[in-house]
Structure 1
């Protein structure tokens, strides 16, 4: 398996690869500019740029047909999907290195993503998409209303939820 297969998906088209890496690079650059303008420490700038690369690129990757085929292939269970969500510990990494990104923000964004993911994967398949959208909307309001991220990271929790709940957990639907 090549690096592109691991970062995007096996069998990804050139367009999917270009779009995914384009979003990742532009997102990392945007995160870099925002954190430099916020005068964050160098380590925080580096970590936020890497997290930006992962989340901006990952939201696009997880929405591609090739990634949907890969992540939802035969033999993949709800536990695989929950593990994918659970390993996204970036909120705690940010709390560790970014001044003003609180542990409460980390726990709230991580917990909201994980609880919503559990609810989505245990929802009957015909209702998963609307339930995922409902829970994403509710989690967005909860995270952004109950906690405060530094302005340079206001994008983080919404993008984490989109990447994990709307892009990753939703299988590809057949064309009509």
Structure 2
């Protein structure tokens, strides 16, 4: 019995290291999971009210868990140590942003979230990341806030998405441009 408890604890630590960060403090882990859970519940309730079927519901819930949780994760000191450790380059950071293809998953599987909207949100996020990464180090924070405000404004006023997914572009931008790209000072 003791071996399985140890195996469970080890598996939980590995999961925490993967989802939050290696050596994340207890408060960081709690905050990250609480943010992920709250965002997932909120987004799922909105999707249920919009009467989505089970597959779009699952996709929306998984995307919400990743984005809401990732917004908190990327803002923690533990994640900052992981993502901004020596040897990490602008290319690494841009690749991390580019790997977030959730707009296309939504376009593929959620009715009403079109490919044009997916491309626009993805393009705005990549363009914002490029602006932040080419900015001089001492100007990255204000540039990140400027391009985030512009990207969120453009996405919420110019891109057609179902009302139940109005949270998507702002949370994606905050997770990637503000939480991920900005190092701990």
Q: Mark yes or no: TM-score above 0.5.
A: yes
Ranges in structure 2 where 5+ consecutive residues have no aligned partner: 1-12
Mapping 1:1-176, distance limit 5 Å: 2-173=14-185
CA offsets, 1:72-92, max 9 Å, x none? 000000011001000000000
Please tell me whether Structure 1 or Structure 2 has the larger radius of gyration of its CA atoms: 2
SS at match of 1:2: helix
Structure 1, 102-111 or 161-170: larger mean CA deviation = 102-111
Comparing 79-88 with 26-35, greater Cα deviation is found at: 26-35
Name stretches of at least 5 consecutive residues in structure 1 with no aligned partner: none
Work out the CA distance in 2 between the residues paired with 1:53 and 1:141: 23
Report the CA distance between 1:31 and its aligned residue: 1.1
**SS where residue 75 of structure 2 aligns?**
coil
Deviation at 1:20, TM superposition (A): 0.1
The alpha-carbon deviation at position 70 of structure 1 amounts to 0.8
Cα deviation, residue 172, structure 1: 0.1
| Shift in Å, 1:148 | 1.7
| TM-score, normalised relative to structure 1 | 0.96
Report runs of 4+ in structure 1 exceeding 3 Å deviation: none
User: Paired residues, what number?
Assistant: 173
